[in-house]
């Protein structure tokens, strides 16, 4: 089959203002965490390896795990990783609406990479959602003008019938852009055939006309035993199966939320490679409320001999060589929880004993002396843990940046996403510019803090930091010299592409992306409730 041209071609997209649009596909799921993000990334990598210019897209993302593009826009981190799978630079066009949950059932609304306010869930659905559909479709159209294909990811389930009226990320988007829809189901959870059938039968006739077929995810066992079920569902729905993906450990990309956190933790512990030196290094990550960018610690988990776990009780920190206090969108709330559980005393005890603590973003802020917050929690003046000579004042304007500096003799790149501005009153800066002037962070003894997410992904810096932590903890731990976190991420994305190429019906997928929804798909009653 001929591939689309560099600016579209047939692709089922038609033309806008006389210009052809590239092909498109919406990857929906029977449930949250069914594998939509992984499948989207895998399709992007597969198409990119075929030489096509492909882009990911998620109209609306609810996530505390975000990223900053090079032009200073905030988007979901999953879309940034999908862009990496596609081999293109992340852009705000790829995730025009980002919702960042906060307290009291509210979320910060980030539109085209910039925060525009806080809304309750009800307020968002009733007041803003329908008005955003135009912005979302314009972004998708622009991506399709400049790419051969755009692979869109849905959210939750497309049959959330209570929300269908204002939907702009699932069938609302598919109908607005005439996208074919592929539904992914996680067979490991059980009930996948009922989920596929029910997902189809609860859609309105106009939506069912776009639902092309299904993809089974996380299958274990003998495929021949599954085939009769696939054939029966084909016969009752009139829709095709586009593949059965086997269960593979360690294939998840950066999650949008904490749904997979326990699985990630278990996988890390089980997959820890033997230490390069004589001893392992134990890292405990505090499980704080509204945890954000917990993927910051993935680079630590990739190091041979580093055993990483999440913890929320003081006794779980007792044997840790390093405690990481991660980012949070609820700094004051996280501070309250640490005090309620006695974790504040354990952190103070560690600091007094010279045992390493690292705070990142919100975790850095709560390690300071004082917090003035009339923005995030509106709690006003709050005392911090007092482990670093830092005072934090929350500003309404959000800092979104991609800083570069040096630390421990290494070049370090990171990204910043925060309302709190730190005034450092002592200690040593963690990161400096090329001339040696302070850029960010603070260190006093074994306690360190920084606003920079992603700093641990810098290999030379991470190894230097781990050597310091090992020395402070008295561990005979040596970082492996060859760990290349960027290469490991690329290999992971290649495995996702392999999964699609080897286990999906790629010829049928390509036809679907190029030609659009199949004609004459049957209607399954009862359809959406009136």
Q: Which residues are catalytic?
A: 361, 453
How far apart (Å, rounded) are the C-alpha atoms in residues 438 and 303? Answer: 28
- The continuous run of DSSP H or E covering 194 comes out as helix 192-201
Per-residue tokens: 86: 């596609």
Q: Which residue has the tokens 């003008």?
A: 145
- Give dist(CA 100, CA 106) in Å, integer: 8
Rg of the chain over all Cα atoms, to the nearest angstrom = 24
**3-state helix/strand/coil string of 373-428:** ECCCCCCEEEECCCCCCEEEEEEEEEEEECCEEEECCEEEECEEEEEEEEEECCCE
Q: What Cα–Cα distance (Å) separates residue 128 from each residue in 97, 134, 158, 211? A: 11, 11, 19, 27
- DSSP letters along 335-373, please? HHHHHHTTHHHHHHHHHHTT--EEEETHHHHHTSSEEEE
Pick left, alpha or beta for residue 54 (phi over 0 → left; psi -120 to 50 → alpha; otherwise beta).
beta
d(CA 504, CA 498): 10
Specify the DSSP class assigned to residue 31.
S
Distance from the Cα of residue 385 to its chain's centroid:
29
* Structure-token match 């622009």, residue found: 142
């Amino acid at each position: 089959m001929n591939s689309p041209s560099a600016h579209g071609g047939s692709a089922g997209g038609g033309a806008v203002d006389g210009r052809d649009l590239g092909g498109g596909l919406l990857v929906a799921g029977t449930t949250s965490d069914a594998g939509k993000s992984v499948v989207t990334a895998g399709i992007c990598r597969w198409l990119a390896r075929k030489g096509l210019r492909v882009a990911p897209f998620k109209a609306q993302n609810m996530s505390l795990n975000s990223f900053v593009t090079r032009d200073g826009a905030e988007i979901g981190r999953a879309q940034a990783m999908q862009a990496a799978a596609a081999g293109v630079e992340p852009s705000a066009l790829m995730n025009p609406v980002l919702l960042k949950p906060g307290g009291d059932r509210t979320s910060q609304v980030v539109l085209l990479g910039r925060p525009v306010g806080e809304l309750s869930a009800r307020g968002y659905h009733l007041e803003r959602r329908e008005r955003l559909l135009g912005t979302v479709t314009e972004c998708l159209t622009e991506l399709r003008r400049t790419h051969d294909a755009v692979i869109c990811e849905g959210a939750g389930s497309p049959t959330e019938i209570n929300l269908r009226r204002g939907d702009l990320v699932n069938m609302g988007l598919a109908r607005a852009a005439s996208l074919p829809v592929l539904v992914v189901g996680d067979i490991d959870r059980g009930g996948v055939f009922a989920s596929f059938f029910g997902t189809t039968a609860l859609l309105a006739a106009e939506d069912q006309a776009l639902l092309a077929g299904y993809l089974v995810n996380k299958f274990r066992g003998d495929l021949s035993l599954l085939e009769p079920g696939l054939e029966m569902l084909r016969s009752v729905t009139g829709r095709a199966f586009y593949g059965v993906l086997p269960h593979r450990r360690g294939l998840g990309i950066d999650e949008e939320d904490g749904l997979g956190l326990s699985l990630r933790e278990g996988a890390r512990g089980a997959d820890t490679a033997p230490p390069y030196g004589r001893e392992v290094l134990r890292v405990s990550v505090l499980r704080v409320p509204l945890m954000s960018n917990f993927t910051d610690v993935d680079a630590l988990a990739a190091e041979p001999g580093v055993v990483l776990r999440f913890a929320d009780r003081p006794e779980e920190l007792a044997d840790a060589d390093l405690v990481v206090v991660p980012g949070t969108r609820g700094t004051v709330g996280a501070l309250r929880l640490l005090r309620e559980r006695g974790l504040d005393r354990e952190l103070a005890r560690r600091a007094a004993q010279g045992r390493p603590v690292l705070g990142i973003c919100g975790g850095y802020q709560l390690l300071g002396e004082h917090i003035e917050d009339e923005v995030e929690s509106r709690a006003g003046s709050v005392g911090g843990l007092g482990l670093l000579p830092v005072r934090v004042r929350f500003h309404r304007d959000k800092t979104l940046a991609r800083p570069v500096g040096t630390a421990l003799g290494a070049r370090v790149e990171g990204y910043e996403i925060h309302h709190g501005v730190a005034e450092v009153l002592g200690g040593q800066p963690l990161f400096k510019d090329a001339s040696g002037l302070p850029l960010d962070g603070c260190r006093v003894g074994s306690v360190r803090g920084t606003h920079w997410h992603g700093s641990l992904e810098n290999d030379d810096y991470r190894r230097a930091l781990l050597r310091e932590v090992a020395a402070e903890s008295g561990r005979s731990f040596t970082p492996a010299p060859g760990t290349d976190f960027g290469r490991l991420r690329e290999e992971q994305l290649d495995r996702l592409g392999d999964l699609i190429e080897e286990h999906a019906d790629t010829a049928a997928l390509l036809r679907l992306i190029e030609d659009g929804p199949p004609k004459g798909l049957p209607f399954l009653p009862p359809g959406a409730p009136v």
